[in-house]
Amino acid sequence: MSTTIPDTHLDLLETPGTAIISTLTPDGLIQSTAVWFLYDDGQVKVSMNDSRRKLRNVQENPTATIFFIDAQNPFRTLEVRGKVDIALDADRSFAERVGAKYSADLSTFDEAGQQRYTLTFVPDRINSYG
Query: Which CATH number fits the domain that encloses residue 42?
Result: 2.30.110.10
| 50 found inside a domain | yes
| 21 found inside a domain | yes
| 2 found inside a domain | no
| 1 found inside a domain | no
Give backbone dihedrals phi and psi of 75, rounded to 5 degrees, phi first. -95, 5
| 37 found inside a domain | yes
Owning domain of residue 99: 7-129
Mean pLDDT of the chain: 95
pTM exceeds cut of 0.75: yes
Q: What is the pLDDT of residues 85-98, one digit of tens each?
A: 999 999 999 999 99
The per-residue pLDDT for 128 is 96
> Any residues with CB less than 8 A from the CB of 66 and at least 6 apart, and which?
19, 20, 21, 22, 35, 37, 44, 46, 79, 80, 121
Q: What is the pLDDT of residues 14-48, one digit of tens each?
A: 988 999 999 999 999 999 999 999 999 899 999 99
| 105 found inside a domain | yes
Domain total in the chain: 1
The per-residue pLDDT for 1 is 67
Specify which residues 76 forms β-bridges with.
none
CA neighbor of 109 nearest in space, from 96, 122, 125: 96
